[in-house]
Chain A
Amino acid sequence: MTGWTLHHGLAAALPLENIDTDQIIPARFMSAPREEGYGRFLLHDLRRDGDALRPDFTLNHPQAQGASLLVARRNFGGGSSREAAVYALHDAGFRVVIAPSFGDIFAANAVNNGLLPARITEDQADRLLAACPAVMTVDLQAQMLTTGSDSIPFALDPVWRQKLINGWDDIDLTASHAAAITAFTKTRQARAPWVWPND
């Protein structure tokens, strides 16, 4: 994963609450190999009426094409733990999702793929949604997003901020704690031997 500090791009509006991960990527697409790209599955059923793209759906508007930031309403990414929801956003070119709240598992998955889940207030979301489509800049170091003359601070777990900036990989980080893990394993075996099932 590559770290980043600044992102500059087009923001598109998705002015809906409770966009769950089943809507971000319907389950029937999840057996596809990642190599083929998941971008085409993003919000697949929501943006279509039968097989045709719905012209009234914001992400189908010509002005929203090429967007890399998405502004939504509360509880974006609730529901299923499927990381494929993040793959769909990432492979469709998104690097930032901005909303008043996120599903916890979705947000963790997003950070693990370099996608920023930026939390703002409901009022700020109203303002940004009204401004979309618009070019926005996200500064991870300053935790600030800017569009035109409007600058809005966003909330983000400090651990996740460092992870996004440094592009940290958890498996690599954990390797440096191997001795502590080995010691803990022995303690756990003594404390709760039933954790290791018999054959």
Chain B
Amino acid sequence: MKTLFDKLWEDHLILTRADGASLLWVDRHYVHEGSHHGFRTLAARGMEVAEPGLTVGVADHYVPTRGPVATPDIARMVQTLADNTAAHGIRLFGLGHAGQGIVHVMGPEQGLTLPGMLVVCGDSHTATHGALGAYGFGIGATEVAHVLATQTTWQRKPARMRITFTGQAGPGVGAKDMALAWIARLGADGARGHAVEYAGPAVRALSVAGRLTLCNLSIEGGARTGLVAPDQTTFDWLRGRTFAPADFDAACADWASLASDPDAAFDREVTLDMAEVAPIVTWGTSPEDALPITATIPDPSRVTDPAQASRIAAALDYMGLTAGRPLDSVAVDQVFIGSCTNARIEDLRAAAAVLAGRQAKVPGMVSPGSALVKAQAEAEGLDRIFTAAGLDWVGSGCSMCVGMNGDVVAPQSRCASSTNRNFRGRQGPGARTHLMSPAMVAAAAVTGHLTDVRPLLEGRI
């Protein structure tokens, strides 16, 4: 009896050393502008890329979302990726390419990530690809160099964990809320050392976009990877994608075995009831600082553990929040819809459903996850809903989620954001980030404060 993760592990296992370290085969290696350290190591050792055909370059972290590249330094990062991929014969989805986008959006979208693959990238959100039944995880620069040089990676097998979502999501509740719910319960390091498989009827009911969001946030709970067993929803979504297998039905027949056996044992099991999952926002400086929008801001004076109390107090100080106030009374200065977490077409549709015919009270920008998502949204008229509401419609990239391309939130400004990290300074020095679903960001835009989206959806979904 094997879990899905056991099967993926065995399918890529080349050998295990006596000390327990295992050498795994890598099917797909995505590189981006930040991978320059890895290429530099390769050059210093005079080595070639072992499997350039299995390596894919994507410009996302530093690319501009409007106008020219912000600074010469940033231009150099984008150019270095183009130079490195050209030198090694690696396919590049560079700036201006019709398939360019955020790596965790464009990879699955192109069919470059497929069920059963082992996928790595020098980016912690690589577990996103697990939504298709792939084993995806983030690696550092030394490991990037190793994968470039050998197409393999040394790993210790993580423990197996299953998070089951029972029941069904209520209106206005989606994958982002499911993810923040488990991270709030278990903590930002709650799944450390574990490969998490998401299961249960509420996961089965998710679209592929929802599954990508759920798996994307695995790292925010400390998990090594996140997985959803592929099913007909997955296969239907992949069929016809640019790099989907030529004999697609044969591949689907093979992928159908990618599921945990009925009696497979997990090292850890957690169950969440969707009846208890409401639209969620974060209030602090870690994704674990998440509460239903109907809650009040935590009060450190009511927390007994002194380390915990001081961390809450420090977070509230950074965030400029008052303990005990209702979360939905917190005014925001701006909004951002984008990132590898929530910038797919379904995310943009969810935000547009709230914004249609309404005005945003605060400025904000909408950055689609890829050039293809952008084109699709424009074909559906979503861009006009956003711009009519007063939001900026811009190009695709990591943008204001990480602030590397110059899209930043000003110091002490408060941003309702569909991104993945509310860390101090993540969206810019001193920036105050509240994480939530794209629909909740749209609701905050409409009212100018953190807002329960559900009343705004009445009669619309």
Q: Is the pair B45, A171 in contact by a Cβ cutoff of 8 Å? A: yes
Which of A26, A102, A180 has the most B CB atoms < 10 Å from its CB? Answer: A26
Cβ of B188: which chain A residues have Cβ within 8 Å of it? Answer: 18, 75, 78
> Which B residues lie within 8 Å of A185 (CB)?
25, 151
A52 within 8 A of B: no
Contact of B123 among A17, A81, A112, A177 (CB under 8 A): A81
Interface members, chain A 143-196 (any B CB < 8 Å): 157-159, 162, 170-171, 173-174, 177, 180-181, 184-185, 188, 191-196
Closest to B250 in A: A194
CA distance A31 to B40 in the complex (A): 13
Residues of B1-57 at the interface with A, using a CB-CB cut-off of 8 Å, are: 11, 14-15, 17, 19-21, 23, 25, 27-28, 34, 37, 40, 45, 47, 53-54
In the complex, the answer to whether B73 meets A31 with C-beta atoms within 8 Å is yes
**How many chain-B residues does the 8 Å CB contact rule pick out?**
78
Residues of the B chain whose Cβ atoms lie less than 8 Å from the Cβ of A58: none
Interfacial chain A residues near B403, Cβ < 8 Å: 27-28
Q: Is A180 within 8 A of B404, CB to CB?
A: no
A16 engages B138 (CB within 8 Å): no
The answer on a CB contact under 8 Å between B421 and A177 is: no
B141 is an interface residue with CB less than 8 A from chain A: yes
The answer, yes or no, to whether B124 is at the interface (CB within 8 Å) is yes
Asked if A18 contacts B139 (CB within 8 A), the reply is no
Q: Cβ of B37: which chain A residues have Cβ within 8 Å of it?
A: 34, 83-84
> Bound state CA distance, A48 and B142, in angstroms?
30
A-B contact count (CB 8 A): 174
Q: Is the CB of A196 within 8 A of B54?
A: yes
Q: Mark B53-77, 1 if CB is under 8 A from A, else 0.
A: 1100000001000000000011011
Residues of chain A having any CB pair with chain B under 8 Å? 15-18, 20, 22-23, 26-28, 30-31, 34, 45-46, 73-75, 78-84, 86, 101-105, 108-109, 112-113, 157-159, 162, 170-171, 173-174, 177, 180-181, 184-185, 188, 191-198
List 29 A-B pairs, Cβ < 8 Å.
A15-B307, A17-B308, A26-B425, A27-B402, A27-B426, A31-B404, A74-B189, A75-B192, A79-B124, A79-B421, A81-B123, A81-B138, A82-B140, A84-B37, A86-B140, A101-B192, A103-B222, A105-B124, A109-B140, A109-B141, A112-B140, A159-B17, A170-B146, A171-B47, A192-B27, A194-B244, A194-B245, A195-B28, A197-B53
